[in-house]
Amino acid sequence: FDELDSAERYVGGSWEDVRALFGGKGANLAEMVRIGVPVPPGFIVTTEACNVYLEAGGIFPEGMWDQVLQALHTIEADTGKTFGDPRQPLLVSCRSGAKFSMPGMMDTVLNIGLNDLTAQAMVNLTGDERFVFDAYRRLIQMFGSVVMGVADEVFEHVLTAARQKAGVTVESDLQAADWKEVTDRFKNVFRNHTQIDFPQDPLEQLRMATEAVFKSWNGKRAVDYRNAANIPHDLGTAVNIVTMVFGNMGNDCATGVAMTRNGSTGEPGLEGDFLINAQGEDVVAGIRMTEDITTMAASFPEAYEELCSIANKLELHYRDMQDMEFTIEKGKLWMLQTRDGKRTARAAVRIAVDMTREGLISMDQAVLRISPEQIDFFLHPQFDPAAIADARSHGRMVARGLNVSPGAAGGLVVFEADLAETWTKRDGKKVILVRPETKPDDVHGLLAAQGVLTSRGGRTSHAALVARQFGKPAVVGVAALEIDLSKREMRCGETLIREGDVISIDGNTGEVFLGELPTMLPDIKDPWLIDLLSWADEYRTLGVWANADYPEDARRARSYGAQGIGLCRSEHMFFETDRLPLFQKMIMARLPVDQREALDALLPFQRDDFAGLFREMDGMPVIIRLIDPPLHEFLPDLVELMGQLSDLKLRIRDAGTLPDIDALLEEIRIKERLREQAEKLKEQNPMLGMRGVRLGIHIPDLTKMQVRAIFEAACLVTREGVTVLPKIMIPLVGHANELKVQREALEAEAQAVMAEQNLKIDYKFGTMIELPRAALTADQIAEYAEFFSYGTNDLTQTTYGISRDDAESGFLIEYVGKGILPENPFATLDEDGVVQLMKIGVDKGRSVRPDLECGICGEHGGDPRSIALCHSLGLTYVSCSPFRVPIARLAAAHAAL
Ligand code: ADP
Ligand code: MG
Ligand code: MG
């Protein structure tokens, strides 16, 4: 451990490479030694040796064993003890440790070096037979299970029998004679199950244990874990040989784990558990009640103070929260491991901000430490932490898998997609879809469910992809779940869960709970989050705007930090119940006067809508997109209409009185008219049909009414003292002439309103770039557009020629699953295609109008990787859903840093 400097020179100095060679555990042990933290003497057999061993089919690389022996001699010199010595025996642990931590996936053997002779020596030295034979039997047990593959149960049987015989309930009450007997019995068990005697030669023990750790790299558990966690299979594990220190030599000994800050809240101060008179794994094994680390201040005042100062030292050194293992032997503190501690998103934010204030890291480091996904956590319902803690301590946490899609979900267990849909839609129940794995046929069930749970699959499994895409909480790869689809039940250890039972899944931690846990909306007003985001704002150059149609969306967006509205879909208002009949009347009008009348009736509604939005966004730009969808979307479905009509006709036959019949006839007349119109408007490809600017040119009075509503609203709120910056956006332009014609008509209307009102409004006209031709001719279009907004949903559809609504639940998932497409282009911008078109558009547009404001309002505007691409393109802002505004603020800062 004390030769890190030369090892660093060997690998070329980068800490990443040091960790790759020594594994995380070994690298950190050596680093602790270098900065003067007490670590028992030890050495590392590198991952390189492991890889050569595995490649050679199980042969140590040449010279390796000699080096091990040499290193062992150095430890012997350091400790004054000798391996296998009958007077002063050295004992060591043999610990796995890969580059990335794989908790519990590989193996460790403690107390190596004990045999009948050295055990007696230890008794002589310590005078504590009980301790020595407890240690000896542990070695046989661990060696048996880890190295020789003997099932744990056979040892457990012996222990149970010993407890019964001694009349005690816990192991810690067994006495020296009991442990001696257990040791003998373990030797027998060992012989019976392996056909060899427990090796008495310490060097043989060490060699076999080293080989076992090497091999554990390819153990099924480890391979599965790496597949699931996307860790490469060729890294190999290092082996750490560490002098044993004992926390179980009496009441002046202890062992424990501690984190330098609270892993769930981020609060400063040591947090952890320890056990007096116990050995390492007892703390995590949960067989004894552990004590809170703070009580160590009373029971081990000196060691506690030292631990606190080591905690500070390690934080200062690693500049991050640490998770440590320690042991106290006869009052002396030893550190056995340190690593960056796992934490919740909330803790991560608080720790990053606190550490900046404490001067441990810089502001930009704090901003970079938090991932956009962690911000997402603050914006979705989560389980109440108190309820989680309660469930965990009452054994209701039944399994753990991979946390592949964040959020909290609870509901009835359903094993089949169709049933998930039925229970949700027909019965209004909340369900969790549970499957061994999901397939494209299950998507409807997944969409209906609150969340999804699978026993197989990893981070890129179908269930994970789909769940993330649709924002459903998901836990996958829960190996402990045995699902029996035919019996409609699953087993999880002792627990039997049937279809219809209630469970909760936590997509943040991967935990599965029995029963429904209460949820809460985490607080976006978290003071640390507010600070962190305000720091992010200082680094980013991209603006962050929001897509919002209604005043309350705008208010939320603003409170989350939006600097404008990048997209108000003006047609959304027409779908509301008091307006739809008027809009349908407008569509169906045969005479211009009828159409005028309907539009006049719609005007005040639109005006009020816009005025509300302007008031909320006082002082900030608001982009209003004029009507975009094809008109048939405002009419009832044709098939449905036909059904209603034949119903009505049947009712006429049965109607009694004349007024009844008249009313029915009138209804039929209206429905017939609707049907006629719907048939007339039917298109083969509505997405490419009569919509966007085409509609505005076709029915000029419609968009004129909208512009009038915008300017009347602007004048109205200006008089109230609101600063209003309306921007009128004309969608789906493919040819500059479309924009020219439409803009001229609308500009005239705008001038008319301002003249009537005798007010000047600061406004702009611009367009969406959502057709490839618009991007390619952006210089021509920029003549008539004062701003561009990339509608990347349509631009992706039209660039790929893929209909999003159909493909996303169909072949796209297959494409992504088979790796034909690296990812869903509707979730993350397609860098090679769509982004190239965007770039042409920006360059050509700005060649004509250097100050041209270019933004994005497609859903990509809230996707961190797409935001990075928008930053490189030099866009002015991204506009996204209000809920993603905080995420976009951070992602934009990351892009700039
Ligand atoms: P894991 O990676 O699963 O935590 P470790 O190699 O860290 O496995 O060891 C398992 C347990 O044994 C830990 O509690 C550790 O602190 C303890 N341990 C390992 N080596 C020693 C040692 N030399 N002396 C005392 N305890 C040890
Ligand atoms: Mg450990
Ligand atoms: Mg569009």
Inter-residue contact 527 to 517 (CB < 8 Å): no
pLDDT at 173: 87
End of a domain among 343, 371, 398?
343
Question: Average pLDDT over the chain, rounded to whole?
Answer: 92
Atom of ligand 1 lying closest to residue 283 CA: 14
End of a domain among 209, 243, 277?
243
Same domain for 56 and 195, yes or no, is yes
Q: Is 667 domain-assigned?
A: yes
Backbone dihedral angles phi then psi of residue 380, each to the nearest 5 degrees? -125, 155
3-class DSSP assignment, residue 387? helix
Tally of domains within the chain:
5
Whether the predicted pLDDT of 251 surpasses 80: yes
Q: How far is the CA of 842 from the centre of ligand 3 (A)?
A: 18
Q: How far is the CA of 732 from the centre of ligand 3 (A)?
A: 6
- Specify the pTM: 0.82
Same domain for 560 and 467, yes or no, is no
| ipTM confidence score | 0.96
Q: Is 298 domain-assigned?
A: yes
- What pLDDT digit, counting tens, does each position of 448-479 carry? 999 999 998 776 577 876 776 566 899 988 98
Non-local (6+) Cβ contacts of 430 within 8 A are 410, 411, 412, 424, 450
Q: How far is the CA of 505 from the centre of ligand 2 (A)?
A: 27
Same domain for 729 and 793, yes or no, is yes
The one-letter code for the residue type at 665 is L
Which residue lies with its CA nearest to atom 16 of ligand 1? 280
Query: Token match 């064993």: residue?
Result: 65
- Residue 337 Cβ < 6 Å to ligand 1: yes
Same domain for 152 and 291, yes or no, is no
Q: Is 367 domain-assigned?
A: no
pLDDT at 117: 96
Residue 644 CB burial class (10 angstroms; 0-12, 13-18, ≥19): middle
Q: Kindly list the catalytic residues.
A: 462, 857
Q: Is 357 domain-assigned?
A: no
Which residue lies with its CA nearest to atom 26 of ligand 1? 280
Inter-residue contact 534 to 541 (CB < 8 Å): no
pLDDT at 635: 87
pLDDT at 593: 93
The one-letter code for the residue type at 267 is E
Beta-strand (E) ranges in 262-319?
A: 268-276, 291-292
pLDDT at 497: 96
Element (H, E) at 796: helix 792-800
Query: Token match 């969608």: residue?
Result: 731
- Residue 281 Cβ < 6 Å to ligand 1: yes
pLDDT at 105: 65
CATH number at residue 416: 3.50.30.10
Ligand nearest to the CA of 107: 1
Element (H, E) at 334: strand 332-340
Q: How far is the CA of 207 from the centre of ligand 2 (A)?
A: 21
Whether the predicted pLDDT of 115 surpasses 90: yes
- Residue 551 Cβ < 6 Å to ligand 1: no
Whether the predicted pLDDT of 409 surpasses 60: yes
Same domain for 719 and 678, yes or no, is no
Angle (nearest 5°) at CA 106 between 105 and 107: 135
CATH number at residue 794: 3.20.20.60
Non-local (6+) Cβ contacts of 518 within 8 A are 383, 384, 387
d(CA 466, CA 464): 6
Same domain for 231 and 333, yes or no, is no
Which residues hold their Cβ within 5 A of ligand 3, which is an ion? 770, 791, 794
Atom of ligand 1 lying closest to residue 326 CA: 16
Q: How far is the CA of 282 from the centre of ligand 1 (A)?
A: 10
- What pLDDT digit, counting tens, does each position of 285-341 carry? 555 677 889 999 999 999 999 999 999 999 999 999 999 999 999 999 999 999 998
User: pLDDT-based confidence at 180, cuts 50/70/90?
Assistant: very high
Same domain for 40 and 101, yes or no, is yes
User: Averaged over 4-20, what is the pLDDT?
Assistant: 88
Atom of ligand 1 lying closest to residue 247 CA: 25
- What pLDDT digit, counting tens, does each position of 710-743 carry? 999 999 999 999 999 999 999 999 999 999 999 9
Q: Is 530 domain-assigned?
A: no
Q: How far is the CA of 771 from the centre of ligand 3 (A)?
A: 9
Same domain for 651 and 606, yes or no, is no
Q: Is 359 domain-assigned?
A: no
- Residue 93 Cβ < 6 Å to ligand 1: yes
Which residues hold their Cβ within 5 A of ligand 2, which is an ion? 337
DSSP 704-733: HHHHHHHHHHHHHHHHTT---EEEEEE---
- What pLDDT digit, counting tens, does each position of 417-456 carry? 999 999 998 999 999 999 998 876 787 898 899 999 999 8
Same domain for 810 and 732, yes or no, is yes
- Full domain range(s) for residue 607: 540-630+687-896
- Residue 95 Cβ < 6 Å to ligand 1: yes
Q: Is 133 domain-assigned?
A: yes
**pLDDT more than 70, % of the chain:** 98
Same domain for 773 and 867, yes or no, is yes
Same domain for 226 and 105, yes or no, is yes
* Biggest CA-to-CA distance, the chain: 116
Return the best residue to mutate from 325, 330, 334 for the ligand 1 pocket (most ligand atoms within 8 A of CB): 325
Q: Is 262 domain-assigned?
A: yes
d(CA 143, CA 82): 21
CATH number at residue 157: 3.30.1490.20
- Residue 108 Cβ < 6 Å to ligand 1: yes
Q: What is the DSSP code (8-state) at residue 194?
A: H
Which residue lies with its CA nearest to atom 23 of ligand 1? 244
CATH number at residue 300: 3.30.470.20
Inter-residue contact 891 to 867 (CB < 8 Å): yes
Same domain for 666 and 725, yes or no, is no
- What pLDDT digit, counting tens, does each position of 815-838 carry? 887 889 988 899 999 999 999 999
pLDDT at 460: 55
